[in-house]
Amino acid sequence: MAAWRSPVVHRVLSAAEACARGTKLWCSAAVVMAATGGRRGRRAAGAGAAAMALAQVVSNGVGKRVADRPRPPKEWIPHDKVEDRPASPSFPSGHTAAATAFCCAVLPGWPAVGLLCTVPAALVAVERVHSGAHYPSDVTAGALIGLTSAWLIRRVARA
């Protein structure tokens, strides 16, 4: 993925990453859902935001400190996007964890919106590898953290 040189791919993936940076895409989606979706929207947005917060704590607060894995070598990335990557440890992908957590927590409460959210979430995951910010295993671990976070939040909400 890091070797893809298509300008269209670069633009689409860069736009997805820019929107998701700092979880602003997911927070914005939660605000819109809560404001326009009635009770269902508020519940889905709350579950998504809570799952995203848990995934961020686990991935960025714990996972990166424990694993302390360096980013992929710059020589492996044949484009200039590699210069924009963070200096923090690589494992796991916090962007992917947040995106997956949000989508998977929203999905049971509002399936149409949850499915819609999976498109930018998948683009973010692909972009993290394409940009040289993560290894594929970092993104996989982030997705698993996000999925687990969503499951825990939904389970706690039912209790």
pLDDT in tens, 71-118: 887 776 665 555 666 778 889 999 999 999 999 999 999 999 999 999
Residue 28, pLDDT > 80, answer yes
Q: In the structure, what pLDDT confidence band is assigned to residue 12 with cuts at 50, 70 and 90?
A: confident
Task: Assign domain 7-158 to a CATH class.
Answer: mainly alpha
Q: Which residue in 56, 87, 95 sits closest to 70, CA to CA?
A: 87
- Report the distance separating Cα 117 and Cα 110, nearest Å: 11
Half-sphere exposure of 28 (CA within 13 A, CB side): 8
Residue 8, pLDDT > 80, answer no
Q: Where are the domains of the chain?
A: 7-158
Structure tokens at 137: 């295993």
Angle, nearest 10°, between helix axes 7-20 and 111-130?
Answer: 120
Residue 149, pLDDT > 90, answer yes
Residues 6+ apart with CB under 8 A from 53: none
pTM for this one?
Answer: 0.86
Residue 58 has a pLDDT of: 97
